[in-house]
Structure 1
Amino acid sequence: MTIGVAINATGAGNQIDATVRHAAEAAAAGLRSAWFGQTFGADSPQLAAIVGREVPGLQVGTSAIPVFGRHPLHVSSQALTAQAATHGRYHLGLALGTKLLTEGGFGLPYERPVARLREFLTALRALTESGSADFHGELITARTPTPAHVPGAEDGVPLLVAAMGPQALRASGELADGVLPYLAGPRALAEHIVPAVTAAARAAGRPAPRIVALVQGVVTDDVDAVRERATEQLAFYEQIPSYARAIALSGGTRAADVAVIGDERTVAAEVRRYRDAGATEVVFAGTEIAGDADRHRTWALLGELAG
């Protein structure tokens, strides 16, 4: 099982410099991958491309680009550029997005998200694998009157989806290479997410999907204080139906209930639970809430487990 980290250096004086520095520290600790969230700030495929160039050998990924407010032609260009820059070490994550950010940020109606995801994946797969597309859907049109390939990225790009609901999991199993569930504990993975996406992939004749579990977690002795900060920072996700459902299916009430916070023994045991639940990869996020010392401590443990 691969173990990686999600890097968030938005509090640094220069986010790009700090991201590269943290990625190098993660690789030195023995971690195998670094993932970057997409916000209205730094562009995550560019971050991945820069880190992949600066830290050879480290797998890099985007988790995740919403399909609203983007077009497959633009996302394909970003992904193929990152893939060529990293010599095949880039992984692209997509997301359905949320009503709050889609309508509040882009001014677009948040309608038929799963249908849009299906069309987006279909067009994007053609673009990333062949450099061309002639797709005409209900919601998306993607054509390439001129070639859209990027030399050096001929092997395509792995496509994953931050899917947790039944319809999104079905679409991901049929059309993507795996899923990126976040705030979904081992119970939700084992009983709902893994069976659903695996069955959909099998029915579509696709290989077994990757299950990249994004886990909010940190190794610390100051458990109560760190959990309190996590409760505050993660409260936003409780407003989003897909996350709220995943938290409930995991046995939690608040988002912080599924966070993995404790000493090395506690965290190692939880990583094993995710593996046993069907995760093919575990990516720890949120280590920045506890400070540099606990971040280094967390990465040291995860690097040991990865080895």
Structure 2
Amino acid sequence: MPYRRLSVKLIFWVVAITVIVIGVFNYVSLNTQRRHLIDEGILGAKQLSDTVKKGLRFDMLHNYREALYNSIETIGAQEGIEKIRIFNKEGAIMFSSDKEEMGQMVDKNAEACYACHAEKKPLERLAIPERSRIFRADGYRLLGIINPIYNEPDCYNAACHVHPRDQTVLGVLDISLSLAATDKRIREIRGTTILLMAITILTVSAIIVLFIQRAVDRPVKELVAGTTRVAAGDFDHTIPARSDDEIGQLAESFNTMTQRLKEIQFQLLQSEKLASIGKLAATIAHEINNPLNGILTYTS
């Protein structure tokens, strides 16, 4: 059966290992590129959040609420920005690009607050990865990042503010960005990677199949055919040694063995002929000796 042939088994395992190795490599590479794109998005969101906070600092410092409303509404209308909002230390939404949620209380167990309020005492400092979150809304993913608004000297020393000096965090700036473009880029990279992986696997597999057929399958078939002919008594058959590798050496050894078998066969034939001649001579001598013995007996 074909599946029992050495070349078929060899091709199967080599191609299978090639597929696994290339598949694992592309899987790791794809995940690395995806994480790189997400990290770039988080870094961009952090820079945007810092820029927005610095841009709103003057209005917040002087309590220009109307200017804050207009600035947040204008920034929130930009492409790729899903929502901008500011909540105070109690969790009330003071400003938002979505006016319908202004004045509402945020859930401290929600994604935007959980990073800080997971402990009994809210955390005051968080690393960038812990300040960011990825969640799904309206069928696509969003990247959210929170940026604490700290109580600076200009804040607690200002005459119009009532924040005590020992209050570290006054509120939080929360920005949500759409990851639709990033996810589209990830899908494009995934599609390109899968296509290149398929082409690579097919090309490498074809090269491997051709190599095995030429370097292994054909010489092995010639050796099998040669052993069959020698077993049938054809000691004049020789196998061409097409290479200097182990298979070529095996073919040369096979030809040497066949030549030795031919010589042994010739010697056996000669021995059989000599034995037959000796047997014939003995028979003739016996036949001659019988009359001679009779004559000698008679004459004596």
- Fold shared by both chains (TM-score > 0.5): no
> Which one has the bigger helix percentage?
2
- State the TM-score, normalized to the length of structure 2: 0.22
- State the TM-score, normalized to the length of structure 1: 0.21
Greater relative contact order structure (CA < 8 Å, 6+ sep): 1
Larger radius of gyration: 2
